[in-house]
Amino acid sequence: MQKKEFKYKWNLVDKIYLPAVLKGLLNTFKHLFMPSFTYEYPDEPFNPAPRFRGEHRLKKDEKGRIKCTACFMCATICPAKCITIVAAPSPEEYGSDRNKYPAIFDVNELRCISCGYCEEVCPKDAIELSVKMPRVYTSREEFIYNRDKLASN
Amino acid sequence: MFYVGLYRLFCSGIVEIRKGQRNYPDNNYKSEVYMSKKIVIKLNGKDVEVEKGQTILQAAKAYGVDIPHYCYHPGLSIAGNCRMCLVNVALKNPRNPEAPAKWMPKPFIACQTTVSPGMEVDTESEKTKAIQQAIMEFLLINHPLDCPECDQAGECRLQDYSYEYGQDRSRFIEEKNVRRIKNVGPHIALWGTRCIVCSRCVRFLQEISGTGELSVFERGDRSVVDIHPRREVDNPLAGNVVDLCPVGALVSRDFLYKARVWFLEHTNSICNRCSKGCNIRVDSLDGNIKRIKPRMNMAVNEYWMCDYGRFGWKSIYSDDRLLSPLRQSAPVDWKTAYHELKDTLTKAKGGGIGALVSMYATNEELYLINQLAKKSLGIEMIAPLEVEVKNDEVFPKFTIPGDKQPNRKGFDLILGETVSYDQIMDEIESKSLKSLIVFGGIPDYQYKFELVEAAEDLKILILFDLMKSDLTRIAHLTFPMLSFAEKSGTYVNADGRVQRFDKAVEPNFPAHEEINILQKMIKIQSGSQKTLTPGAIFGRLAREHSSFKRINYKSLGDQGQNIVL
Ligand code: SF4
Ligand code: SF4
Ligand code: SF4
Ligand code: SF4
Ligand code: FES
């Protein structure tokens, strides 16, 4: 089938240009009186929707132990490769039902692209992207959150 | 006539049994298919030719049909207790071979059932799939959902088959049978709950090592593998049960939680801890060795390896490793060291040079040493730096040689006639030997006191070694060596099999390969020469030595090749 060429026919109103410009200006002007969506952040608190993907958090179970068992699923799936885990046998106070825990669990928040895969893949429901807005620091090292920081995030 | 016929029938039966072949229900039936070595069976509706006496599992494997299995292991006896390999089978009536094969009412285990002519095997119909799914459900009844913290995850048969043949839910709502985690040996931990009681480990310890430390205790779904009271799985072959275990029930205490297996990089290598030359695989993560596993080679180690080799790599990360060249036991950079080497060799030239060469040197290094001795430097006497040969450790189906040196054969073939160690010692004492080159590289080795004492009087001592020792204190020039995992080369094992090992990890210090240092030494003596790779050096070796004829560095592959005798 042959493609039909479409040709727009310019009428007089189009050729003058001005009505279109005025139409646009009218739209802009209308927005001055509409409710505003912007926040005066950080003076005004930011309350995002619960599914917002902010900073990471390591969850704890009812006994106060970190839920994560260092299974490396998140580190494997992470497309930005920003999770570093070193596994170790869990300490005494974790009890006999927990054998493995992350001795080191670092997330580089600068590299993270907030895709949320880590949260989705975790078999223990141990990591989540909280509603916290990413914070601001003055050095790169501070963006690497360690285990305890993530747990208390 | 009748009695003669009966007697012959009886005898033919015995002959059949003697040959180790299966005694078919009716020996009277001797059609052409029974007589020939090859028989035709129908595998998933296709006619295939298989060997008589094979099991269904082996026959199917030859045609690329993998039947799932846990308890079957080619190196062990057949137990047939996991039932994962169940397949539907149709058999011919031997009395009436013309009739079509009849489907049996119940499935057969493929690992133990031998093929018979006209047999039909079905491994993929809905009916067989339902059986496999049911077996998976049974096996997982008491199994914990442990994968996140299980070391086997990623190379676990239970995971793989669950994914391939299982289902995503279990109907078991009763309480699970929970077992304790315990250490059953210096290197092995047992996670009882994960065990599927395939008895591979039990059979290995009974048949291969003959030590029998593990057994299956209790009955029914309570049954579990455990250790006999007051015993430990501590025989030198124990590490193999970890590789054997299809699930994460037996795990290595050394490797526990060290790495997730899917991150590991695998390199084919050869164990250098004894003259057997077991084929191994070096698993490394970020350039650090994490574990060593045996690799199948039916001509050498079959499926196994010993624990000396399995944990021998630890010395690579010892604090005593030499990390840079030393001049009078002070660390120097490589440039200075080569400069010094030039001066030293010029001084040494002109008689009275000897060499002590260990049998841990690769064929390529030995070839270059030979070049150095015969052609360029003129080393007058070469003697082996030998490690004491102990008694062989003999197990029912595996022998750990007492000769711990991986390349004695290569040493003898390439260097030919050498003098003895004592002769060199005498020459040093009588001051007719003024310079000595020691080519060591023996892991965990202590030099003999006489040698250290005698070496003090030498004019020149050039040392190649892995570790700091008494000799590094007095050597005029020391070069750090690389371990077997950090370089490539070939060894000839005690049976005369040339085997290649590849570089698995980068050394974690600025290192130069020994062959490059040796080539530098040759270059200093006889002018410019191209620096060759191990492969090129092996090529020259193969051209010059008749034993290595027709062996090519590349074509050695991962299974090695026998030398020409
Ligand atoms: S959100 Fe995505 S990029 Fe960020 S840590 Fe998780 S998986 Fe990695
Ligand atoms: S996926 Fe979950 S349990 Fe596994 S390492 Fe990451 S946070 Fe821990
Ligand atoms: S044995 Fe396999 S299936 Fe069981 S917990 Fe370990 S990895 Fe998972
Ligand atoms: S410990 Fe492993 S090898 Fe031994 S019976 Fe259990 S599952 Fe099989
Ligand atoms: S592999 Fe056949 S029964 Fe286990």
Every domain of chain B and the residues it spans? 2-139, 175-317, 326-562
Which chain A residue shows the shortest CA-CA distance from B261? A72
Q: How far apart are CA B216 and CA B205, in angstroms?
A: 12
Given pLDDT bands bounded at 50, 70 and 90, which one contains residue A47? confident
Q: Assign a CATH topology to domain B326-562.
A: Rossmann fold (3.40.50)
- Asked whether B86 lines ligand 5 (CB < 6 A), one says no
What's the pLDDT at B70?
96
Confidence of residue A9 (pLDDT cuts 50, 70, 90): confident
Question: Do residues A128 and A57 make contact, with C-beta atoms less than 8 angstroms apart?
Answer: yes
Q: If contacts are CB pairs under 8 Å, which of residues 2-61 in chain A contact chain B? A: none
Q: Nearest by CB to A87, which of B147, B181, B257?
A: B257
User: Any idea which architecture A56-152 has in CATH?
Assistant: 2-Layer Sandwich (3.30)
Give the pair of three-digit tokens for residue B296: 């199948």
Provide the pLDDT for residue B263: 96
How close is the Cα of B158 to the center of ligand 3, in Å? 6
User: What is the position in ligand 3's atom list of the atom closest to the CA of B162?
Assistant: 3
Contact B148 A89 (CB under 8 A): no
CB B194 within 8 A of CB B157: no
pLDDT in the model for residue B97: 85
pLDDT at B34: 47
Q: Taking residues A27-49, what's their average pLDDT? A: 87
Contacts of A88 in chain B (CB under 8 A): 257
Domain boundaries, chain A: 56-152
Pick the residue whose CA is nearest to atom 4 on ligand 4: B201
Chain A residues touching B263 at Cβ < 8 A: 72, 76
Is A151 within 8 Å of A58 (Cβ atoms)?
A: yes
Which has the closest alpha carbon to B481: B497, B499, B462?
B462
Determine the CATH number of domain B2-139: 3.10.20.740
Q: Looking at ligand 2, which residue's alpha carbon is closest to its atom 1?
A: A122
Quote the pLDDT of residue B6.
Answer: 40
- Under an 8 A CB cutoff, do A70 and B256 touch? no
Would you state the pLDDT for residue A97? Answer: 85
- Complex ipTM > 0.90: no
Contact in structure between B249 and B191 (CB atoms under 8 Å): yes
Q: Nearest chain B Cα to A89, which residue?
A: B257
d(CA B88, ligand 5 centre) in Å: 14
| Architecture in CATH of B175-317 | 2-Layer Sandwich (3.30)
Q: What is the pLDDT along chain B (565 residues), one digit of tens a residue?
A: 344 444 444 444 433 333 333 333 333 344 444 455 899 999 999 999 999 999 999 999 999 999 999 999 999 999 999 999 999 999 999 888 889 999 999 999 999 999 999 999 999 999 999 999 999 999 999 999 899 999 999 999 999 999 999 998 889 998 888 888 999 999 999 999 999 999 999 999 999 999 999 999 998 878 889 999 899 999 999 999 999 999 999 999 999 999 999 999 999 999 999 999 999 999 999 999 999 999 999 999 999 999 999 999 999 999 999 999 999 989 999 999 999 999 998 888 777 899 999 999 999 999 999 988 888 788 888 999 989 999 999 999 999 999 999 999 999 999 988 899 999 999 888 888 889 999 999 988 889 998 998 888 888 999 999 999 999 999 999 999 999 999 999 999 999 999 999 999 999 999 999 999 999 998 888 776 788 999 999 999 999 999 898 899 988 889 999 988 7
Structure confidence at residue A1 (pLDDT): 58
A77 touches chain B (CB under 8 A): no
Q: Quick one: pLDDT at residue A5?
A: 81
CA distances from B296 to A132, B288, B431, B456, B563 (A): 53, 23, 51, 47, 20
Question: What digits encode the pLDDT tens for the residues A70-97?
Answer: 999 999 999 999 999 999 999 999 988 8
Three-state DSSP state, B93: coil
The stretch A143-149 carries a mean pLDDT of 95
CA angle, A112 as apex, A108 and A116 as ends, to 5°? 125
| Residue B168 CA, ligand 3 centroid: distance in Å | 15
**Residue among A72, A123, A124 whose CB faces B260 most closely:** A72
Q: What is the spatial order of strands in the sheet that B181-183 belongs to?
A: B181-183, B188-191, B250-252
Are B341 and B464 spatial neighbours (Cβ–Cβ below 8 Å)?
Answer: no
Half-sphere exposure of B79 (CA within 13 A, CB side): 22
Lay out the sheet containing B435-439: strands in order across: B330-331, B326-327, B477-480, B460-465, B435-439, B353-358, B381-385
Contacts of B257 in chain A (CB under 8 A): 70, 87-89, 100
Predicted structure pTM score: 0.86
What's the pLDDT at B322? 94
Confirm or reject contact between B178 and chain A (CB < 8 A): no
Of ligand 3's atoms, which has the minimum distance to the CA of residue B156? 2
